[in-house]
Structure 1
């Protein structure tokens, strides 16, 4: 039962991250627009900022439910069904809207707008259609439904005279009736569900800064198994992260509320408490504290090599918000050190909330941009440098104490595994150089065509048991997530030591290989290599 749940959870995590990856980009653009909208800016810049902000606010942020539906349906679907799943995702979403609205009309339960519009009625306008207000939950539920049904019945075979209606067309027929029934049922069920959600939010809101500590602590503790998406995604994009009415419109979820406040500073007298989830030094000051601790505790003779390894990981965290390349250096090495890190992570959010820093940042880039985009009297961003130093030093001293007290063999120490450290000596040999050398190889056992694929790519495929053993492969921000058919064919030693990974995790048939921010390009190379091997099966064993 546990294995089945974990597999389902990993599948959902892989799916939900696809649409969310675009939200960070949207946030940066909107933050820049907010700066352009400041009163001190020339009129042409203010108008430009307003123009772009309103387009993205309405076109992207305002339609998250639909985006999640299509994104999740496509991500969940098997490769051969992805295009059809995307089409069925949007069609199913629209069918729900019209079916839900039609039933509300038929049963005379369409809410009448009051002085605040439909606020408080449990209904809302979506694509100009008045429906039961499910927010982003609607897109998530429908996306999962479509993805699951396409995978389950996408290969339905019919008589040759009915073949045009086979496969995903049959799934569409089933979806029409399932969606209509679901849309009708929701008009009776969702008011109760909404009541439960509202009460959960009330309980969470009463915990104050303590709640932010537990959020930060659990965020790190769930990271190794890739389930941290279950924690932050609902807080960022659903009513579980809070509800606020800004400039006459209702917004739910911490990230959506932040973007609404960012675009309407004149309507804000105090920042919403949910911004505490977004004020996070976890990828800014904490990695610096960790890196200095590792450097300090390494042997003097190794410090130059240690610095060569740590500086890129800290830079990646600061600029891209990706901390896993650094964190995976000690995650498997010492669970106790990981626990201490999780506690400090939680404390950093607790302290940030206590002092009242109320702007969104999870990378150095948006910290700088958002510091200028919002009035200091509301965001208190002038406290950021102080908390930057405090949280960084806290992480540093905790790590130094733990490493000394428990003699943890971190990088560069006498009792450490020198594999990573020795790898730094040849770090100047880039992937491009390796490809060039490989391309020049005139081995009789390898064709000229395969020479364009680097050793890293080949080792990933070989380590996963070969092309026939790979069932499905996607990537998130930092990880290659792979489902394999037979775990006995895995070569974990090859995956861990000859693919350039920062860490490998296995949960049954699901393998997660951590590469960092360049994972997408690695994924593309592996896909290209797999396509080549399909056309040249004789090359698979080489």
Structure 2
């Protein structure tokens, strides 16, 4: 029983960890838009093309946008240190986040102390060669985002073990949540003394991984893009994303005199300083998404629509259009992917390989479009507006090829194997109720076993992530009838219900229904007991 509980906890942990990465990354993506627009309209080439941009107030506005856009890049490590315990903690989240902030500074101060007493601190001119940097005025080891992740994970463990600790009466003031930042300080102070001893080995291992990926040439982006798609159903793709974007696995470069690691970090730093963009970094960024997100998945939606029964096309059209908009504009692919993932895993494997090929082809054609999303906004802001050096025109050319391949492969497979994609179910007629929301939230709760079966509720960008008493009580057909795009039962306690882009609204309604039913079922239990 103990082994089973540990397996469930580990699965839940990695699911949650991947989700916590989305908080700082979403801010990074938004700030990246500011940086992209600001740098594009304040660049020398754009000023030459559009002289009115030289007018002082206009020029200052775009310089201001570029400056603000660099915020997330500069302070990304501490954002991870705060976001990880905030996202993983089930209770007292504010204390967990505060402890992450405290722990990050204490660890770096402890590292500084060790370097000082061992006479390893170097002058400013030698810091880069020695692997050191200034972090909020503290000279420490340059760990980048990994430093923030280490702090976040340790603080989460400390928080879990100590936030309910009750000390003896003499020290009662420090009990409970007050004890968490105290213990975080103590633990991370000790960690800071150990890190300088083990970091060289750890750094060597990461550098070796980055060396292997970089030496793979265009095949490296292919492996990366394929694995990303394959990990999406498990919800673990954010971990791979973070590794490539923010660690040596995504490459290293010296930008404006600073040693920078991670594909996304390199791209943003070069963009902020108006330097030529490194195509070896953008090979792992949004350009690789674009053939699939902007062209491939819309072709899948068209194939599903064309192969649906004529009487059902009106009903499925709205669902497909919303999925296309999400993919084409924002880069959110799951609303379309989960329409065929469970019906035909073989098609999903084909889709994953095509996604990897998208990365490889963009790299081979020397496209240079960065950022995180891969939709039309990234193509315009980080491609078209950045000038011809990005080779932005390659994207629609490759996109037409991707659209054609996706459309005919999916249409052939659906018809050949009579796949029950949306619109091909006999019960899905145009006479069905199509008014209001497509989600029946009370039925979704019933489909996961009711309020008394729920242990914990969370959500990511497109899914409800539930921990339940028993997944045997989950009714997949009932959930799909209630509007869910798909259901993933991961083990005996973890289940994910795929909702799509309306997840925020559904989660809010779900919480309200859950609270109401919990009170009702609790009162019923008390009455039965009497």
Alignment TM-score, normalising by the size of structure 2: 0.89
Alignment correspondent of 1:340: 350
Alignment correspondent of 2:410: 399
Alignment correspondent of 1:275: 282
Alignment correspondent of 1:50: 63
2:19 paired residue among 14, 18, 25:
14
Note the alpha carbon deviations across 1:306-345, whole angstroms, 9 max, x for none.
Answer: 4343222111211221111111111000111111111111
Shift of 1:503: 1.0
Note the alpha carbon deviations across 1:120-149, whole angstroms, 9 max, x for none.
Answer: 211111111111111100111111111122
Alignment correspondent of 2:451: 467
After alignment, is 11-20 or 334-343 more displaced? Answer: 11-20
Shift of 1:386: 0.7
Alignment correspondent of 2:528: none
1:183 paired residue among 188, 192, 202:
192
Q: In structure 2, do the counterparts of structure 1 residues 303 and 472 end up closer, same or farther at CA, with 3 Å as the change threshold? A: closer
The answer to whether the aligner puts 1:165 opposite 2:178 as a matched pair is no
1-structure distance, mates of 2:57, 2:189: 48
2-structure distance, mates of 1:197, 1:334: 36
1-structure distance, mates of 2:304, 2:510: 33
Alignment correspondent of 1:68: 80
Alignment correspondent of 1:26: 31
1-structure distance, mates of 2:201, 2:495: 39
Q: In structure 2, do the counterparts of structure 1 residues 206 and 512 end up closer, same or farther at CA, with 3 Å as the change threshold? A: same
Provide the secondary structure at the position in 2 that maps to 1:88: helix
2-structure distance, mates of 1:531, 1:61: 39
For 1:328-367, list aligned pairs within 5 A: 328-360=338-370, 362-367=374-379
Q: In structure 2, do the counterparts of structure 1 residues 538 and 190 end up closer, same or farther at CA, with 3 Å as the change threshold? A: closer
Structure 1 vs Structure 2 CA RMSD? 2.4
Alignment correspondent of 1:422: 429
Alignment correspondent of 2:164: 155
Residues 311 and 429 of structure 2 are in contact (CA less than 8 Å); yes or no, is this contact kept in structure 1?
no
Note the alpha carbon deviations across 1:231-254, whole angstroms, 9 max, x for none.
Answer: 212111222111222222332222
Note the alpha carbon deviations across 1:256-306, whole angstroms, 9 max, x for none.
Answer: 2222222233x32x5230201111223211112212222333345544444
Shift of 1:172: 3.1
1-structure distance, mates of 2:311, 2:436: 25
The answer to whether the aligner puts 1:387 opposite 2:394 as a matched pair is no
1-structure distance, mates of 2:296, 2:196: 47
Residues 20 and 87 of structure 2 are in contact (CA less than 8 Å); yes or no, is this contact kept in structure 1?
yes
Note the alpha carbon deviations across 1:70-98, whole angstroms, 9 max, x for none.
Answer: 001111111x3201101111011111111
1:519 paired residue among 493, 503, 513:
503
Alignment correspondent of 1:444: none
1-structure distance, mates of 2:328, 2:361: 20
Query: What 5-or-longer segments of structure 2 have no aligned partner?
Result: 526-530
1-structure distance, mates of 2:513, 2:283: 44
Alignment correspondent of 1:374: 386
Q: In structure 2, do the counterparts of structure 1 residues 17 and 485 end up closer, same or farther at CA, with 3 Å as the change threshold? A: farther
User: Number of aligned pairs?
Assistant: 506
After alignment, is 139-148 or 28-37 more displaced? Answer: 28-37
Shift of 1:161: 4.4
Residues 358 and 379 of structure 1 are in contact (CA less than 8 Å); yes or no, is this contact kept in structure 2?
yes
Alignment correspondent of 1:264: 273
Shift of 1:4: 5.1
Alignment TM-score, normalising by the size of structure 1: 0.87
Provide the secondary structure at the position in 2 that maps to 1:322: coil
2-structure distance, mates of 1:369, 1:68: 26
2-structure distance, mates of 1:510, 1:46: 52
2:252 paired residue among 223, 232, 243:
243
2-structure distance, mates of 1:540, 1:233: 47
1:111 paired residue among 100, 104, 122:
122
Shift of 1:424: 8.3
2-structure distance, mates of 1:301, 1:532: 38
Residues 34 and 53 of structure 1 are in contact (CA less than 8 Å); yes or no, is this contact kept in structure 2?
yes
Note the alpha carbon deviations across 1:355-402, whole angstroms, 9 max, x for none.
Answer: 1211125111221222233121x2111222211212211222322343
Note the alpha carbon deviations across 1:11-64, whole angstroms, 9 max, x for none.
Answer: 32232223322222222222222233132323322222222322331x321111
Q: In structure 2, do the counterparts of structure 1 residues 10 and 34 end up closer, same or farther at CA, with 3 Å as the change threshold? A: same
2-structure distance, mates of 1:522, 1:301: 28
Alignment correspondent of 1:139: 148
2-structure distance, mates of 1:482, 1:306: 27
